[in-house]
Amino acid sequence: MSEITQYPPGTFCWVELVTTDGEAAKKFYCDLLGCSYSDSPAGPDMVYTMLQRDGKNLGALCQMNQEQQAQGIPPHWNSYVAVASADETAAKAKSLGGNLIMAPFDVFDAGRMAILQDPTGAVFSVWQANAHCGATLVNEPGSFCWNELATKDTGAASEFYTKLFGWTAQEQEMGDMVYTTFMVGERMNAGMLQIAAEWGDVPPNWVVYWSVADCDASAEKAKSLGATIIAPPADIPEVGRFSVIQDAQGAVSSIIKLATPE
């Protein structure tokens, strides 16, 4: 098992669903991913739910508050990047043309975070760990294994993230598109692709990928649980087989059966 106790700065460390129906979301993701959950109070009228397997944290979900719903914010998954200083990263992001959605703040004794928006419009969070490092199980079936940016300006996004986190960008042609892999040192950390015209009015966004043992079976299960299959299972040569799903509340994520190295 890929158990994690700390994350190098610049690596994705946590994923979190903000949804309009926490109870339905708990049932859906626990059934789909084969995990359990643990609820904890997180302030007045708020519950923070940890998705877990064998006592290890996979990610979390929480109920969207009334203010967020009134603003028209749709259910969505947040992707968090580990940083040495949330305050310094937030300031640097602003200097690079990013927007500060939520200024750095402490989350009890767990850590310190900020919510940012890159110059192309995609929202992400940064996490300065204290008691909580992030997900303690990754890259195994039922846990997250990849984070991918879909954007309308890959050039601007690449310049922003490489300067902000020190990532290096490696481009490769995949069919009729160019796919960018962001590296932290020698480690593949995240991906990026251009939003295609045929996708319609999809806004720039970070997508969470969940590792599964069987993509086709998981897609069928997701559908039986009320999800919409946005992209049916398809092969990515030398990478794996993936599908894009949207849960009943509207949050989008991907599932992937990673290819076994030969």
CA distances from 181 to 147, 213, 256 (A): 10, 23, 17
Give the per-residue pLDDT at 43: 74
The verdict on 204 and 103 lying in the same domain is no
The verdict on 190 and 224 lying in the same domain is yes
The verdict on 19 and 70 lying in the same domain is yes
The verdict on 106 and 160 lying in the same domain is no
Give the per-residue pLDDT at 5: 87
Domain's final residue, options 71, 96, 129:
129
The verdict on 64 and 104 lying in the same domain is yes
The verdict on 114 and 21 lying in the same domain is yes
Domain's final residue, options 103, 129, 155:
129
Q: What is the mean pLDDT of each run of 10 residues along the chain (262 residues)?
A: 84 98 97 96 86 96 88 94 98 98 96 98 98 96 97 98 98 91 97 94 96 98 98 94 98 95 58
Give the per-residue pLDDT at 70: 85
Q: What are phi and psi of 71, to 5 degrees?
A: -80, -5
6 falls within a domain:
no
Q: CA 29, CA 107: separation in Å to the nearest integer? A: 24
The verdict on 247 and 149 lying in the same domain is yes
136 falls within a domain:
no
Domains identified in the chain, total number? 2
The CB-side HSE value for 22 (13 A sphere, CA atoms) comes to 19
The verdict on 150 and 229 lying in the same domain is yes
Burial tier of 10 (Cβ tally within 10 Å: 0-12, 13-18, 19+) = buried
The verdict on 18 and 123 lying in the same domain is yes
Give the domain extent around 243.
144-258
- Contact at 8 Å (CB) between 146 and 212? no
Give the per-residue pLDDT at 261: 66
The verdict on 148 and 52 lying in the same domain is no
236 falls within a domain:
yes
CA distances from 165 to 54, 81, 91, 125, 169 (A): 32, 9, 13, 13, 11
Q: In DSSP terms, which residues pair with 255 in a beta bridge?
A: 210, 243
135 falls within a domain:
no
Give the per-residue pLDDT at 2: 60
Domain's final residue, options 73, 99, 129:
129
The verdict on 57 and 85 lying in the same domain is yes
> Crossing angle of helices 215-224/22-33, nearest 10°?
150
Q: CA 180, CA 158: separation in Å to the nearest integer? A: 9
The verdict on 121 and 163 lying in the same domain is no
Q: What is the pTM of this model?
A: 0.96
Give the per-residue pLDDT at 217: 98
CATH number at residue 223: 3.10.180.10
